[in-house]
Amino acid sequence: MTQYAQTPGATATHVICDLRSDTVTRPDAAMRAAMAAAEVGDDVYGEDATVNRLEAVLAEQADKEAALFLPTGTQSNFVAVLAHCGRGEEVILGRDYHVYKYEAGGASALGGVVMDPQPVAEDGGLHAADVASAVKADDSHHPISRLLSLENTHNGKAVPLARMDACIKAARGAGLSVHLDGARVFNAVTALRCDLAAIAGRVDTVSICLSKGLGAPVGSVLVGPMELIGRARRWRKMLGGGMRQAGVLAAAGLYALEHNVTRLAEDHARAEALAAALRALGAGKVEQNTNMVFFTPEDGDNAALGQALAKRGVVISAGGTGAIRMVLHKDVNEVGFAAVLSGIEAHYG
């Protein structure tokens, strides 16, 4: 059972709080108004002013030459890998990273790109020594090592910049390019107390998701060098990702960047409060990173907890065994959060 599974029989009839993921956020009235008022054109012709503005804003924030708006984070990572690598070339990345584990092997199945997964360190990064040793010799028996793909945040962990730097140094020393799956990079920015350019400037390309904690309904943006983004744009078209009047979606992303980045600290604070409440109950192992809490009940009563919370209108991913991931986000309000705390206390109290 994956982290995306919901507890069987635990569907809340009236949901007041959904902690399965920050992907469940919905556009609020102000974001919808911005979408309705968006200036649009044909993006395939490069004529959608709102898409162009979104791409320019994120390219500037990341201190990159160019950017590309895509429908999904999976497609953003996919076109980045294909823009960096040819068939039979290799990506070195984390064994538990999204590009390797949760994107259906698309880069390998459709792009002929080889992936060499490495163990993930405790802080969510990779070990520089593993990166260095994974690079293949110039030998016809091996794929050509071409790209290092990192992730920040990983399972909510804001990977320290020093950890990133050590891995990037090993990759650059071997002539590799570096991509960052920055689906929640603004959570990393918040936790590490830096700006986007401080992270993006370390790598060649970054995939930035707008539809998780930032609350937009759709979309990711890939930022990077002009020439590489040009290749990614061609791959987007080949993968069926060319869009027309996409400004109605880009407007939501622009609104999110303006209004929903600084408030991510609220999600982190609520996650800390939830973790503290769980620890006080002594009902199992608790780990908290940025906006995520991982709770492993001592008695393995995942399903029972999911069913108890569902009766209070709280939805969690409690199917199976192991850690339950609970994700805080902008749609968790005071009423919903109170229901989470009271439900957990009632179940374990």
At residue 43, the 3 state secondary structure works out as helix
Q: Where are the beta strands (DSSP E) in the chain?
A: 17-18, 66-70, 89-94, 114-118, 144-151, 177-182, 205-209, 220-224, 284-289, 292-297, 314-315, 324-327
Backbone angles phi, psi at 86, to 5 degrees: -95, 175
Indicate if 236 and 277 belong to the same structural domain: no
Residue where a domain stops, chosen among 245, 273, 291: 245
CA dist list (Å): 188 to 26, 174, 239: 22, 27, 29
Check: CB of residue 232 under 8 Å from CB of residue 83: yes
Q: Give the percent of the chain with pLDDT over 90.
A: 93
CATH assignment at residue 273: 3.90.1150.10
Residue 7 lies in a domain: no
Check: CB of residue 326 under 8 Å from CB of residue 293: yes
At residue 147, the 3 state secondary structure works out as strand
CATH assignment at residue 164: 3.40.640.10
* pLDDT tens per residue across span 156-195: 999 999 999 999 999 999 999 999 999 999 999 999 999 9
Please compute the mean of the pLDDT values over residues 24-29 and round it to a whole number.
Answer: 96
Indicate if 21 and 115 belong to the same structural domain: no
pLDDT at 2 exceeding the cut of 80: no
Rounded distance between C-alpha atoms, residue 61 and residue 120, angstroms: 28
Rounded distance between C-alpha atoms, residue 58 and residue 207, angstroms: 11
* pLDDT tens per residue across span 192-243: 999 999 999 999 999 999 999 999 999 999 999 999 999 999 999 999 999 9
Residue 3 lies in a domain: no
Residue where a domain stops, chosen among 185, 210, 245: 245
* pLDDT tens per residue across span 261-289: 999 999 999 999 999 999 999 999 999 99
Indicate if 122 and 186 belong to the same structural domain: yes
List residues bridging with 319 in a β-sheet.
none
Check: CB of residue 215 under 8 Å from CB of residue 330: yes
Strands 66-70, 220-224: pairing is antiparallel
Indicate if 339 and 239 belong to the same structural domain: no
Check: CB of residue 315 under 8 Å from CB of residue 18: yes
* pLDDT tens per residue across span 93-131: 999 999 999 999 999 999 999 999 999 999 999 999 999
List residues bridging with 189 in a β-sheet.
none
Closest CA to 274 of 262, 260, 286, 265: 286
Q: How far is CA 161 from the centre of its chain?
A: 17
Indicate if 267 and 237 belong to the same structural domain: no
Indicate if 107 and 158 belong to the same structural domain: yes
Range of the domain at 282: 17-26+263-348
Q: CB neighbours (10 Å) of residue 26?
A: 12
Residue where a domain stops, chosen among 219, 245, 271: 245
Q: How confident is the model at residue 300 (pLDDT cuts 50, 70, 90)?
A: confident
At residue 323, the 3 state secondary structure works out as coil
Rounded distance between C-alpha atoms, residue 117 and residue 255, angstroms: 36
Indicate if 185 and 76 belong to the same structural domain: yes
Q: How many domains does the chain have?
A: 2
Check: CB of residue 312 under 8 Å from CB of residue 336: no
Encoding tokens for residue 71?
């429908």
Please compute the mean of the pLDDT values over residues 52-68 and round it to a whole number.
Answer: 98
Q: How confident is the model at residue 320 (pLDDT cuts 50, 70, 90)?
A: confident
Indicate if 324 and 208 belong to the same structural domain: no
- Sign of torsion over alpha carbons 20, 21, 23, 28: positive
Q: What is the pLDDT of residue 14?
A: 86
Check: CB of residue 321 under 8 Å from CB of residue 307: no
Rounded distance between C-alpha atoms, residue 328 and residue 40, angstroms: 33
Indicate if 142 and 183 belong to the same structural domain: yes
Which amino acid appears at position 238 of this protein? M
28-32, 41-45, 53-57, 300-304: segment of lowest average pLDDT: 300-304
Average per-residue pLDDT for the chain: 95
Indicate if 180 and 217 belong to the same structural domain: yes
Length of the chain: 349
Indicate if 212 and 97 belong to the same structural domain: yes
